[in-house]
Homo-oligomer: A and B are copies of this chain.
Amino acid sequence: PIDGQRLWNTLMAMAEIGPTANGGSCRLALTPEDAAGRRLLLDWCETLGCTWRVDQVGNLFIRRAGKRDDLEPVATGSHLDTQPRGGRFDGILGVLAGLEVFRTLHEAGIVTERPLELVVWTNEEGSRFAPAMVASGTYAGAFTVDETLGRRDADGVTLGEALTACGFAGDLPVGEPRLDGYLELHIEQGPVLEGAREAIGVVTGVQGMRWFDVTFTGRSAHAGPTPMRLRHDALAAAARLIDRLQALALADESGDTKVTCGCLEIAAASRNVIPGEVRLTVDLRHVAEAELDALQARFERELAAAGEAFGVAVSSERLWASPVVAFDAECIAAVESATRAQGVPHRRMMSGAGHDAVYVARVAPTAMIFVPCRDGISHNEAEYATPEHCALGAQVLCDALLARANR
C-alpha cells in the first residue's frame, strides 16, 4: 500500500515553489518556478535510481526499469505548471502520485515486468501558451514540433525560447518513447463526486472544447460629447456577446453546454474614451461533438449580431479544437477493478476539463482516475483535495499500473 502521509508531505513541499498570497501556487509553464518544480521532482526520483530524458518540447520522461526493458513502458503522469492563481493539486497530484508509486515499489523491492514511466507534460494549462495540453498534443502528433516551439506568450516570448531559458530544452525526438498504456490521476475540478459523496471517478472520456480569439473593432471617441447613437463602442459589443452567450448556456437544461470568456483586453483603455478595440477569448465545451458544432454556429451568429447592434466590426479566429474523446475500454476496466477492490462508492464519468490524457489517448491505450475536490473548485487558490482522497487515488493508480505492467 502507498504511504498517504508521504504523498501529502510531497504535495505540500511542491506547493512551496511559487506560492501565492492565498495558499495557492503560481508556476506558469517554463518560468523559473516551473523549472524549480521539475528539478525538485528529479532530485526525488534520482534517489530512487530512476533515469530521465527530455524531449524537444520539454516533456520529461522519468523511467523506473522493469524486468523486460525491451518492452514498451506503462506510463503515468500529468503536469506541474499552474494557472496564474492556481491550486496545489491540479496536475501536481497526478505527477506526485506517480512518484509515490515509484517510492512504494522501491521500498517493497518490487520490479515490474514492463518498465514504468512517469511523465511531466509541458504547458498543460494553456495559460501562458495557448492551447492547453500543447506538448502532449505534439507528442501525439496533433501539432508539429516547429508549430509548438513557435507558440508565443502574451509578451511575445516563444515556447522554444522559454524552454531554453529555463533549461528544459531536450533532444529526445518527440513521440518517443512509445507507451504501452497511460493512466492519469487528477482531481475532478468539478462538483459531481463531492455532491454524490463518491470517492473515485472512473473517467471514460473528455468533453470537446474549442478556443477562439475574438476581436471587436469600433472607433475610439470622447465619452462626453459623442452621442450614444453615433458611437462604435467595441466594449459594448463585447458585453452584448458575453451576455448572450451566458444566456444560451444557462438555458440548456441538460447543463452540458459550457461557455467561458476568460480574458478581455481594451486597447489603449482610458476612463473617458469609448473603447475602439477589444480582444476577447471564448471557450466553448460540450460532451457531444454535434452539439459543439451547433454551439459554435450559435456563437458565430451572436457575435455577428453584437457587432451589428453597436456598429462594430467583428472577427474571430478558432485557435484550438479538441474533439470529444472516448478512453480505452481495457484501461477503463483496469481502473474500475482497482477501484472496486477499495470498496468505495464510485462512478463512471466524463471529464469536463482537458488533460494530457486527451492527446496521449491517440497513440496509447489510456484512461483516467478522478478524486473529488472541495466545492468542485479548481483554477483557484482555494483548490483542495483531502489527504484521504489523494491517497485513495494514488492507491488505485498504483494497483491499475501494476496490473497493466505485469499482465
Q: Interface of A with B (CB < 8 Å)?
A: 83-85, 125-127, 130, 132, 188-192, 207, 209, 211, 219-230, 233, 235-236, 238-240, 242-243, 246, 249-250, 252, 255, 257-264, 266-276, 281, 283, 285, 310, 351-354, 376-380
Give, as a whole number of angstroms, the nearest-CB distance from A273 to chain B: 4
Give, as a whole number of angstroms, the nearest-CB distance from A352 to chain B: 3
A264 with B262: CB separation less than 8 A: no
Complex interface: chain B residues within 8 A of A242 (CB): 235-236, 239
Name the one of B236, B310, B352 contacting A222, with C-beta atoms under 8 angstroms: B352
B272 with A126: CB separation less than 8 A: yes
Complex interface: chain B residues within 8 A of A240 (CB): 239, 243, 246
A376 with B191: CB separation less than 8 A: no
Q: How far is the CA of A263 from the CA of B278 in the complex (A)?
A: 11
B223 with A268: CB separation less than 8 A: no
B271 with A225: CB separation less than 8 A: no
A224 with B353: CB separation less than 8 A: yes
Complex interface: chain B residues within 8 A of A192 (CB): 225
B222 with A235: CB separation less than 8 A: no
Give the one of A191, A242, A262 with max B CB within 10 A: A262
Residue of B nearest to A320 (CB): B271
Q: How far is the CA of A225 from the CA of B260 in the complex (A)?
A: 11
What are 6 inter-chain pairs, A to B, with CB distance below 8 A? A83-B273, A222-B352, A262-B269, A262-B271, A263-B271, A272-B283
